[in-house]
Amino acid sequence: MKFVANKDEFLNGIRIVERATVVKGLQPVLANVLIETVGENQIKLFATDFDLSINTTINATIEEEGRFTLPAKKLGEILSRLNDELIKLELNGTTATITCKNSKFDIIGISANEFPKIEENISEDDSMEIETQPFIKAIRQVVSAAAGYETNNLLSGVFSQVNENILEMAATDGNRLARVREAVTNASVREDHPFEMIIPSRVLSELSKIATLTEAENIKICKERKKIVITIDKTKIITSLIYGQFPKYNQLIPQTFPKEAVINKTNMISALERVAVMVNEKNSIVKFEFADNTLKLSGDSPDAGNSQDELDIQYTAEPLAIAFNYKFILEFLKIAEAEEIKIQLNSPLSATVFVPCSEEDYIYLVMPVQLRG
């Protein structure tokens, strides 16, 4: 194998696929990127941890075809420090030599034969295309509400549905639920056949990062029963779908609320962060007391002391005291774009809904925590 490639393009490709490498696993080859020449003008990079596989194609001038694997991290480090546009890579036995201007590196790799085979071909029967921008925005709005990553845990997935011109995504870890609806144009979905799937949240997080490295306007998704291939620009992400019945979350969202408050996001973030200096680190509880256009926040740390803060808000209903894990609220406030946030309340133990005033299709429901004493 021998080729010349543009350094930045090659590095970008490594940065995309290395998200699927396993750095300290039992199989050393999984820490590597498989590099494969394709015809005379392209190389393809592959990485996989079996759960998630990523490949991407970059331009190169091939002088000698071949395939070989090299450690992703070292390769990225080397490329990022080189100071010329073009790099040359040449394979000699188990060593690849990279040269660039006055610099030369011999990197020990592993034979391509040891790299696992990933089936990336999938029927195009069940597929759709969606605009990148609203899809990635929706991912960012819901993904952190999913449960921690575990294979086959339904709640570690994000429910995604595309229905003609509406994308709906939702995630919940049982304590909170984020749901967003985004208008999309030209999603190529058959009217009578909505496109539904539960995608592992980790895969969507990686996709949203990869999207920032490409300029593709559309993302294509092909799915089979338990597998999807997401194509963005020259990159393909192959992963298992989570299979099962996602909770009927829309039924969990109350339709009416007897009480409503409107708060300023920036003030609320500072006040919450202040009060949070003195909370019980085990449960992160902050008490919210709504009364008479005022919100009083308070924290209590058994060893360190307690904290209180007061905010001017819009609230004219009956006084209400309710408590939350403040981290859930802070996470939402930092994602929301609107400056004004509506808080829809019922009773101290009922689901509370946070809605950004200018993005009413994005709702964030949090279950309160019972206050003792």
What are 161's two structure tokens?
A: 């549905």
Q: How far is the CB of 105 from a second copy (least distance, A)?
A: 5
What are 235's two structure tokens?
A: 């990159």
**Total number of residues that touch a second copy (CB under 8 A):** 30
Asked whether position 127 contacts a second copy by CB under 8 A, the answer is no
Q: How far is the CB of 280 from a second copy (least distance, A)?
A: 13
Which burial class, exposed, middle or buried, applies to 42 when counting CB atoms under 10 A from its CB (0-12, 13-18, 19+)? middle
Asked whether position 61 contacts a second copy by CB under 8 A, the answer is no
Nearer to a second copy, 270 or 316 (CB): 270
What are 311's two structure tokens?
A: 């905010």
Considering only residues 132 to 161 of the shown chain, the ones binding a second copy according to CB under 8 A are none
Which of 23, 183, 262, 277 binds a second copy (CB under 8 A)? It is 277
Q: CA 295, CA 313: separation in Å to the nearest integer?
A: 6
Q: CA 273, CA 250: separation in Å to the nearest integer?
A: 31
Q: How far is the CB of 107 from a second copy (least distance, A)?
A: 4
Q: CA 162, CA 169: separation in Å to the nearest integer?
A: 9
Helix axes 201-212, 132-142, angle to 10 degrees: 130
Residue owning tokens 């194998």: 1
Considering only residues 176 to 235 of the shown chain, the ones binding a second copy according to CB under 8 A are none
Asked whether position 332 contacts a second copy by CB under 8 A, the answer is no
Which of 8, 40, 85, 106 binds a second copy (CB under 8 A)? It is 106
Q: How far is the CB of 13 from a second copy (least distance, A)?
A: 18
| Cα pseudo-dihedral 11, 211, 246, 149, rounded to 10 | 30
Q: How far is the CB of 6 from a second copy (least distance, A)?
A: 18
78 HSE (CA, 13 A, CB side): 21
Q: How far is the CB of 91 from a second copy (least distance, A)?
A: 13
Nearer to a second copy, 89 or 162 (CB): 89
Q: 88, 98 in Cβ contact below 8 A?
A: yes
312, β-bridge pairs: 294
Report CA Rg, the chain. 25
Q: 182, 166 in Cβ contact below 8 A?
A: yes
Which of 304, 318, 319, 360 binds a second copy (CB under 8 A)? It is 304
Nearer to a second copy, 164 or 312 (CB): 312
Query: With CB under 8 A as the contact rule, which of the stretches 1-9, 74-82, 203-211, 329-337 interacts with a second copy?
Result: 74-82
Q: Which of 103, 57, 60, 61 is nearest to 84 (CA)?
A: 103
Which of 103, 186, 293, 316 binds a second copy (CB under 8 A)? It is 103
Nearer to a second copy, 221 or 275 (CB): 275
What are 272's two structure tokens?
A: 């919450």
Which of 4, 38, 86, 107 binds a second copy (CB under 8 A)? It is 107
Q: What is the DSSP letter of 199?
A: E
Q: How far is the CB of 246 from a second copy (least distance, A)?
A: 39
Which of 74, 220, 234, 327 binds a second copy (CB under 8 A)? It is 74
Nearer to a second copy, 75 or 242 (CB): 75
Strands, E, within 1-139: which ranges? 2-6, 32-38, 42-48, 52-64, 67-71, 86-92, 95-100, 103-108, 127-131
Q: CA 212, CA 218: separation in Å to the nearest integer?
A: 13
Nearer to a second copy, 151 or 270 (CB): 270
Query: With CB under 8 A as the contact rule, which of the stretches 79-87, 123-131, 149-157, 171-179 interacts with a second copy?
Result: 79-87
Q: How far is the CB of 31 from a second copy (least distance, A)?
A: 11
Q: Which residues in this chain contact a second copy in the complex, by CB under 8 A?
A: 71, 74, 77-78, 81-83, 95, 102-108, 270-271, 273-274, 277-278, 303-311
